[in-house]
Structure 1
């Protein structure tokens, strides 16, 4: 839970730093060439880190089947902490780029390692996924908010170092932690006393040790129903990135989200203490808090989804959850045009629904993959969610540039309909 919360804290704090880096740095020097720092330049820099976050999930899945979850999560925590310490001392944009690449590589192994640990070590799998998801939502919602508040008082470099501290503490705990990683599955490698051996890293026989085995196990996975599950997780990632990437920009156009000057909200003594002079252009942007609140509400969706996963077939959960997302995509803009109250209601339901489907597809992966290559299956899962799913932001940007918001939400409804339809297919064909 600590690791999952930190992954998403870092993931969502990076965009807040981008606006600062635009004014902090003038050029990106690669030695043989220099590039002017623009939004496009920083977009490529940030995309590189996020790209590794998704693509690295697949080799991370292979590694977790070989060395176990605890060691990999420990390396992830120290890697992420180190990347933000490096970010805090970065003298130029090249070092910032290196720090983001380090973060992407370290964070990429988390989901296959963490979810493999839950799927093989916890008997009440859905509830475990729910609490795990809640921690991620806390990081997703409160991480950016904490970053923004800290930036009111200290420089961004100090904020980056402060953000590294929780991951360092969690990593120190992970070094000392001892537990049976395969408590919920039958394993011939479990120690005679029922524990996980002296180092707590007992694992089910399996994993891949060569490219030939990797190719063989990959064919084995995709020869069955896991291929359909992979389409579901891609649809989830495309919907998630597509709806969230430009949501604050979309909301700016609605009157209810007009900026509010800070001088009209805070008493003079407080604005003076914060260094905000009268007539300052600094303002409160309500759409950012709507966005953060929507993500925080996802905590309830994660919990509900996890509980339902333990009480109903996961295939039905996929069909219903993605069906709800399709409906919400259709009604979102009409609700926004109808006023603030309808938008808040639809936004709250959307926040829950976005994360309600996650325990369902995480548990579905466990149902449709062998325990010995569970890490590989979750590697492919998060390659689909974060790797392929990252294209959702590109799709959204292109549609908003060349078409309309209505076309965007119709496309999002299509992604959700695909996920719902596959849930129905899986339910009808049986496991």
Structure 2
């Protein structure tokens, strides 16, 4: 990578890591909130789903902004807003307060992926490698966030732990304001239209850009990402609580200290995602992205089905299945990000990622609500079978992309 590539990749690596520090620490806090507010998974699933949903619902306008403004400013604003949301979360008096604070967090978080991924796809000459490092950094955040939360919750009230997440993000945002780079160094459109032209000036232009974007393979890839988003959120939101209910992973006391082994298993599976993100990104430079995406989705279908017997088979088989999930679920991310770039022109790359994360985190947030409802009224087996169906359908749709385009 050249110097500009390295600055962009470093900038987005920090932003991606901080985004996931927040996103994947929330399920760890879910266990504490279930006890603190004496609520059900179904009710809390709605509250958490609101915050996660806004990450996706805000992604479309964020994508429009990413085609009209510098990505650096949008990323910095996103990080500051996420810190504010968690500051409010520490003050939440009820499940309603949790929902409102997570809504603030989600609205701010929605800016990150459209801006950060548009920056990577337009500014770096080695895009696959850039996605690989970006993805790996995101998983460092997914590990550090849940692990830090799990450790701190042993010794402190959840409100103090939530508050501890605010300072590092504000410090990171300040550091990022001092980085400079060329955001469009790797793009030549050949269309007479600049890479960023102010974005659509009217609703009509937005509709026109959207119509052109959804003509062809992008429409099918969008459907794949939407189904994967339901799987991703449905799988991870209540996984720490499910693990806590299995034999050998319940609460344990060491002297006067009580801790939850399930939280550390959860953090461990996310650690394997670091390798998954890096491997997935590097493979996109070597294998056709749509075929690669279909293969990972088929594997995730099998993993969901394996969870049903693994929950009753003891700690070791369950840890193995969790490890496979951690690697594969995050290997999928850079692969679908690169696939999106293959089916969207540079002029609407921000808009394409806006729609992508509308599906991934917006509609996908319903996976948290779906998971909470299934766990409350049908049980874990029904949940994992449903997740397998979602991943299988995404795989079949992806194979359609391969054969049609």
TM-score tier (shorter): 0.7 to 0.9
In structure 1, the gaps of 5 or more residues are: 26-36, 190-201, 264-270, 277-282
CA distance in 2: counterparts of 1:176 and 1:117, whole angstroms: 16
CA-to-aligned-CA distance 1:359-389 (integer Å, 9 cap, x gap) = 1110111111111111111011011111111
- Residues 181, 203 of structure 1: 8 Å contact kept: no
1:419 aligns with 2:381: no
1:68 aligns with 2:70: yes
TM-aligned CA deviation for residue 46 of structure 1:
3.9
- Residue 170 of structure 2 corresponds to 168
The TM-score normalised by the length of structure 1 is: 0.82
- Residue 134 of structure 2 corresponds to 132
1:309 aligns with 2:284: yes
CA distance in 1: counterparts of 2:384 and 2:162, whole angstroms: 35
Structure 1 counterpart SS, 2:182:
coil
- Residues 206, 373 of structure 1: 8 Å contact kept: no
Structure 1 counterpart SS, 2:286:
coil
TM-aligned CA deviation for residue 287 of structure 1:
2.0
CA distance in 2: counterparts of 1:45 and 1:335, whole angstroms: 29
CA distance in 1: counterparts of 2:383 and 2:78, whole angstroms: 35
Structure 2 counterpart SS, 1:176:
coil
- Residues 51, 104 of structure 1: 8 Å contact kept: yes
TM-aligned CA deviation for residue 47 of structure 1:
3.7
* Alpha-carbon distance change, 211 to 372 in structure 1, aligned in 2, over 3 angstroms: same
CA distance in 1: counterparts of 2:342 and 2:234, whole angstroms: 28
* Alpha-carbon distance change, 293 to 380 in structure 1, aligned in 2, over 3 angstroms: same
Structure 2 counterpart SS, 1:261:
strand
Alignment partner of 1:144 out of 140, 146, 153: 146
Matches within 5 A, 1:10-409: 10-17=22-29, 44-88=46-90, 90=91, 99-154=101-156, 156-186=158-188, 203-205=195-197, 207-263=199-255, 271=256, 283-409=258-384
Q: CA RMSD in A?
A: 2.8
Count of residues in Structure 1 that have an aligned counterpart in Structure 2: 389
CA distance in 1: counterparts of 2:36 and 2:373, whole angstroms: 29
CA-to-aligned-CA distance 1:26-80 (integer Å, 9 cap, x gap) = xxxxxxxxxxx85577655544333322211111111111112111011112222
* Alpha-carbon distance change, 92 to 207 in structure 1, aligned in 2, over 3 angstroms: same
TM-aligned CA deviation for residue 156 of structure 1:
4.7
CA distance in 1: counterparts of 2:374 and 2:88, whole angstroms: 36
Q: Of the two structures, which has the highest relative contact order with CA contacts closer than 8 Å and spacing of 6 or more?
A: 2
- Residue 2 of structure 1 corresponds to 14
CA distance in 1: counterparts of 2:21 and 2:268, whole angstroms: 15
Structure 2 counterpart SS, 1:256:
coil
Q: Which segment drifts farther, 78-87 or 93-102?
A: 93-102
CA distance in 2: counterparts of 1:337 and 1:397, whole angstroms: 20
- Residues 5, 140 of structure 1: 8 Å contact kept: yes
* Alpha-carbon distance change, 260 to 97 in structure 1, aligned in 2, over 3 angstroms: closer
TM-aligned CA deviation for residue 257 of structure 1:
2.2
CA-to-aligned-CA distance 1:326-377 (integer Å, 9 cap, x gap) = 1222223234444333322222112111111111110111111111111111
* Alpha-carbon distance change, 234 to 102 in structure 1, aligned in 2, over 3 angstroms: same
Larger Rg: 1
* Alpha-carbon distance change, 20 to 342 in structure 1, aligned in 2, over 3 angstroms: closer
